[in-house]
Amino acid sequence: MRTNTLRFFLSLIISCFFLVPLAFIFAFQDKEESAVRIEQGAIDIEVQFTQQQYLNTSFRVAYTLHNPSDKPDRFTRTFPVSAPLSALYNTKKPWCRILVDGKPVKYETQPVLKAATPFTGYRQFKNQDEWGDRLEALIQQDAELLGLVTKYRQLIRDPENLREISTTFESRVKNHLIYKSADNVSAAYHLARGDASLLDLIELMPEIDPKFRIDLPDTQRKYVSILAQSYSFAPYDKEWRAQADQWLASKPDLAELVPKLRQAWDMQREPEELLNGPLLKYVHDHMGLSLQLSKQFVGYIQADSYHPQPHLPSVSLMRTLFPDIDQEIKTEDIERSKKLAQWGFNESLVSPYTGKLIKYDTEPRRESNDFYSDPTVLDAIGRPQQAEFLSRRYRLNHNCQPVLISFAAPLQAKSHSKIVVEYDCHTDSFPNPWSSIQPNDITELSAVFPALQTVPVTVTCPATVQPIIAPAPQSVTKLENGGCRFETRLTNKATMLHFIAVNLSPNGNGYSLGNNPVDLADIETVLEKTINITVRPLLMTKLFSRLREKQAYQLVVKIQQEYPDFQSKLSRLLNSKPGRDAETDEWIEAKVKSPKIISDSDFERFRIIYNYRGIEARLELIKRLDQLDVAKLDVQEQMGRLFMLCTAGVDSKQNFATLLKLAESNPKRVNESLRFIRELQMDKSAALPFVLNQFDPDLPKKMRAKKLTAPAEVWQRRNQALRTLGSFRSPQTATRIIALIQSTDDSLSIQEAMEALSQMTLPKHFEELARISDHIAESSASDLIRYLELLVRSDDQKKAPPVLNRLRKQYPELAARITPFLAHYQPSEELARAQTVYQNTKAQEEDLQAAINVLFKYAEPTDIVKLAYRKGLPQRMNQRLVRAIAEKGGDESAYPFVEAYYLEFIQGQKADNDLTCVSAFEEIGDQRAIPYLREIVKKSERKEDAAHAIGNIIFDKRIKKKIDYHKLEKLDENIRTLFRDPAYITEKERTQALDVLLKDPGESIERMFQRGDLQSIIDSPDSQRYMMDRRVFSILNRFGDLPTLLILEKSDGCSLEKRYKIAEILAVLLPESRPLIEAAALDKTADIDRRATARLALKMYQDRLKLAH
């Protein structure tokens, strides 16, 4: 007893030695606050690259302690520091240096808050170890929920048994396979497990029955399957599955494992299906939990059932289910916030997209952080915060912790003392605009000042690093070494500095907006509402990366005008792309001194610079050209300068007018002037009179008549002018160009004039075009095709047929060229004519080729089989007819025609185009073709195609669809046009494509969801690729209720997570489809999941409306 008493008193004395000084530390702050003051404070932060090319950040917090009192002060000082994690968890090495009047002193640290769990940073809550018991008690109160949870826990088994049986089966089944590929092993495993798909059966059937394969002993696989991987074989599913089961049963070593494998698989599968199906939906639908909380609930059930150690439920789940826990945490949070605010800390993270602060609820990290899950972004663009429904994004880590640092700093009466706190912190960089790297963690650093007062802060970064800083800097200074120094300040309101480093080096990460595509309009909206000068140039650069040509160039100019400090960083990004080299730099330097553009190499070099990837070099060149003193330049230099400025879009109209005046006033430079006009891609219709005045179209005719002699320079000028004539693209020039064609018989003049017109569409000039038809036919038959294409393209009132019929009758030698254009208007008449020409053995080859073209485009297989196969024609002719049968479909009546083609051109020959014949035989489906197809399998490279054709012929009960390939090709072309990036297409082209698709909206919508980008909306909603793309949904709304109906059908029997994904899509399609969705929500005869999805969509829509108002 005496020994224990002695130990108690001894421990009490020792404790006093430690606790009393600590009490003085904190007492000092209140006692001496009026006496000792902090003055002349500053925070300096410097980001540097280490030798290993990692980013390291050095912090320097400096201030002066002033003791105005008549008494000396010897208390220990305690000040806050936003310290790296090593300050809490690495006690072996000092993490910072404290200087008092230039001399290092020892220090002690302690966290402002109770230390969290090392490496995880998770907080510990009151009675947290009892949370599991409370949740279990809640489950006990709901009989149906308890039944589901109990059933799940009874079903779960250790997966080790399944792994052991699976390994044994896969090892044994290889002994029974001819081709021991991973696909074959997998198909056999799924068959034994009892969940083989049709595609698994198709993979395995050649191993089971020889009739499903063609043996090829000399190949690696030893055979080729006659079955293609296609769901069209669905009618044979039951038959093949039974045959496959018999095969398994016939192998004793496999048969003994099948029941064990199926039992082990069912025991493993059933609990997972129960957990993620009925249990998850019950928790969501009956307990009123969100999707995310419902997943956390079943996650707890799953983890607690599998692991013997207690598993704690999530904080957000417990706060939602138990109000008393929520109130306790709220009270604790208030105390935490007060304690942190007392030392200048706040509970926020900086948004890398707006520079604004985001308050975090429980932990200083965000598991979801990309453009469309950032709360400040969603607030700016007026959208609800639905981050929990998006897939995983970047994790934004707060890499600094609130720490109190204590050290001795005695002050004499009426004295000052200089205090410096220095420490380093590792920095992970955030991605730059070009990077495709997707980092897992983004480090945010922070700093505080010991007193709540206005303090200047500087952040200095190297040339390739752009910081994102909050509070937003007021100014930035560019340093001699290329780096920048940003200046901001902490105040009584903004007491904590936050920043993220963005590495803009070519090999760095990138300033990315996440995996999902981002709407240009949304970037522009956020940019418009963002004032932070560290974030704006990054957003502008990201916007630039999505733009093309003139828009991109103008934005680069704007970036450099508004943020000259960012110029070198942008240059590094741009010049990390191809297009900038030493030769380009030398050329620029030469041209800003003497901007002559004369040689082909000059024009080629300027094209390289004008290329999108060389936009930075172009900006530099144009900027310096615009500053040149024109008075000191000769004519060639003035023309070169004006040409480059016009190309860059700098006062194009005025500069082009000046260039044209120079050309007119300097006839000796006419060839150079013409070259400049030809190279310009802009509206240059004002130059047409000048170009036409430079040549006589009838010069060759006069020379032949010996009425005129012309020196070489006249011919050279004429050739330059004609080539320039062909470069015009504006319809404003059409009348004069058509008049030129009418006035001359010169084929070269007509050819260049047609080169210009062929790039236009001229509905307003149709009559003028029709009047020159005879002249074109007589003077320049080689240009007739281009002329007819222009005539038909410009015929918006169907006036062309009389012109075409007259031309064909008047010029029979040109009939083959005219016929395909007439077929566009009168296909039945031209089809009959083409059949007659094909059977005419005396027909000219040109007429025959025109007939083949008409037959290929307009004939049905029934029309082709009426023709007697003509032997001896060039292969390409009959091949096109066989291809028409293959693409449009044919019955057995078409077999003789295809067989004749095969015997003439394929059999016994090394043909490289036998696929046309294979496709035709397959489409016809006549078993007489099988021997020919077997020949192709053994002798051709088209083994699989021919073998699959055999399978499709033999198994003729497969699901067949008549496909009009020409129609689908046109349909797909318009769909692609409709959804192309706006940077690559005009609104007029998009509108025209939409008008065509709206003529048959049902077929168009079905095709959109079958192929292409929109397939992901229905079949893979997890990708969420188009969730935020307003352009896509605005297009879909033009098709009425059809898209909504298709999407609703996909919700039948869907999972809870998919329900949310589909509901989000439906919510965007509202309000146009609101009646249909409301009807689905109330339809008691509909699938329960469809009703739930419709109700959820309506709720999401209402939430959007509330947010908008």
Q: 109-123, 514-528, 547-561, 639-653: which has the minimum mean pLDDT?
A: 109-123
pLDDT at residue 511 in the model = 58
* 513 has a pLDDT exceeding 70: no
Confidence of residue 498 (pLDDT cuts 50, 70, 90): very high
| Cα–Cα dist 624/800, whole Å | 53
**Exposure class string for 790-816: b at 16+ Cβ within 10 A, else e:** bbbebbeeeebeebbeebbeebeebbb
* 1010 has a pLDDT exceeding 70: yes
* 334 has a pLDDT exceeding 90: no
Tens digits of per-residue pLDDT, 778-816? 887 788 999 999 999 999 888 999 999 999 999 988 888
Taking a C-beta distance cutoff of 8 angstroms, is the pair 301, 152 a contact?
A: yes
Share the mean pLDDT of the chain. Answer: 83
Q: Which helix (H) or strand (E) holds 83?
A: strand 76-84
pLDDT at residue 910 in the model = 67
Place of tokens 């509206």: 683
% of the chain at pLDDT higher than 90 = 44
Order across the sheet with 484-490: list the strands.
103-105, 96-100, 415-427, 55-67, 37-49, 455-461, 484-490, 475-478
pLDDT at residue 92 in the model = 58
**What type of residue sits at position 792?**
V
Q: Given this structure, which CATH class describes domain 37-112+401-425+440-508+521-576?
A: mainly beta
* 707 has a pLDDT exceeding 80: no
* 239 has a pLDDT exceeding 90: yes
pLDDT at residue 364 in the model = 46
Q: Where exactly are the structural domains of the chain? A: 1-31, 37-112+401-425+440-508+521-576, 128-155+270-334, 160-256, 577-682, 693-789, 860-954, 965-1108
CA angle 1091, 1093, 1097 (to 5 degrees): 120
* Cis check: omega of the bond before 1071, within 30 degrees of 0: yes
* 1072 has a pLDDT exceeding 50: yes
Over residues 161-179, mean pLDDT: 92
388 vs 125: which has the higher pLDDT: 125
**Hey, what are 768's tokens?**
């003028």
How deeply is 777 buried, as exposed, middle or buried, from its count of CB atoms within 10 A (0-12, 13-18, 19+)? buried
pLDDT at residue 161 in the model = 81
* 845 has a pLDDT exceeding 50: yes
Taking a C-beta distance cutoff of 8 angstroms, is the pair 457, 488 a contact?
A: yes
| Cα–Cα dist 737/750, whole Å | 9
pLDDT at residue 16 in the model = 43
From residue 320, how far is each of 290, 316, 836 by CA, in Å? 10, 6, 82
879 vs 115: which has the higher pLDDT: 879
Helix axes 635-647, 615-626, angle to 10 degrees: 130
pLDDT at residue 503 in the model = 81
Over residues 164-190, mean pLDDT: 94
The closest of 739, 746, 755, 687 to 715, measured between CA atoms, is 746
* Cis check: omega of the bond before 697, within 30 degrees of 0: no
Tens digits of per-residue pLDDT, 729-764? 999 999 999 999 999 989 899 999 999 999 999 999
| Cα–Cα dist 495/453, whole Å | 8
Taking a C-beta distance cutoff of 8 angstroms, is the pair 675, 718 a contact?
A: no
Tens digits of per-residue pLDDT, 15-74? 444 333 333 333 334 444 547 889 989 999 999 987 766 788 999 999 999 999 888 888
User: Which 8-state DSSP code applies to residue 650?
Assistant: S
Q: Which helix (H) or strand (E) holds 817?
A: helix 815-823
Taking a C-beta distance cutoff of 8 angstroms, is the pair 75, 28 a contact?
A: yes
Taking a C-beta distance cutoff of 8 angstroms, is the pair 470, 355 a contact?
A: yes
Over residues 186-206, mean pLDDT: 94
pLDDT at residue 21 in the model = 36
pLDDT at residue 369 in the model = 59
Place of tokens 């469309």: 372
Taking a C-beta distance cutoff of 8 angstroms, is the pair 354, 530 a contact?
A: yes
The closest of 305, 314, 308 to 271, measured between CA atoms, is 305
Tens digits of per-residue pLDDT, 96-120? 999 999 999 999 988 887 655 443 4
Helix (H, G, I), strand (E, B) or coil at 566: helix
* 125 has a pLDDT exceeding 90: no
* 399 has a pLDDT exceeding 80: no
Tens digits of per-residue pLDDT, 81-99? 998 876 665 555 788 999 9
Helix axes 567-575, 536-546, angle to 10 degrees: 30
Tens digits of per-residue pLDDT, 627-658? 888 889 999 999 999 998 888 778 889 999 99
pLDDT at residue 6 in the model = 43
Tens digits of per-residue pLDDT, 931-980? 999 999 988 887 899 999 999 999 988 877 666 666 777 888 888 888 77
